[in-house]
Amino acid sequence: MKKKVYLLLVTVTALFILSGCFVIVPPEPLCRRELQFSWSMKELDEGYYSYNNAIAPYGIDTIEIKIEPIITPSYGFEVWVMNYYQYLDFYYDGIVDGDVHHFTIYNEAKTLIINDPDPYETYYVIIDNSDLGWVETDWDGVNDLVIFNADVYFCILN
């Protein structure tokens, strides 16, 4: 009798395994991504920049910028993430502080991540096609246009 119960239990277990009835539940993500702002098919002529800003909430873990260049000059273009005071220096004095988060984009899509931003800080994301940062334009009389899509997310801890 015990042998028949054991055989039945093994058979049911084998059928269960082979039938694919196991459900694997993925772990809950550590944070939720909230879209803050985006650019869609944004055009930047040579010598210009575009920006947007948002206030980081309590519990922020990262700032994520997904950028997809459509048209880029050979020298690329820049993405900066600045706090409020760095942005004021940039806006009023044309100074790009060496401590800003700085990325150079060429012709490949990228996800840029800034870890541990300060909560309640206002952050500015600037897309630059000028000579204000580290990448210099070539000023050859041809407008080296940049066209891109970008989404900026705050990742908030659950």
Residues 61-112 pLDDT 10s: 999 999 999 999 988 999 999 999 999 999 998 888 888 999 999 999 999 9
Q: What is the pLDDT of residue 92?
A: 92
Q: Which residues contact 19 (CB under 8 A, 6 or more apart)?
A: none
Q: What is the pLDDT of residue 29?
A: 64
Q: Which domains does the chain have, with CATH numbers?
A: 31-157 (2.60.120.380)
Q: Give the number of other CB atoms < 10 A from CB of residue 143.
A: 11
Mean pLDDT of the chain: 86
pLDDT tens, 34-43? 999 999 999 9
pTM score of the predicted model: 0.77
d(CA 58, CA 103) in angstroms, rounded, equals: 25
pLDDT greater than 90 at residue 156: yes
Confidence of residue 31 (pLDDT cuts 50, 70, 90): confident
Phi, psi dihedral angles at 118 (to 5 degrees): -75, 130
Say if CB 80 and CB 65 are below 8 A apart: no
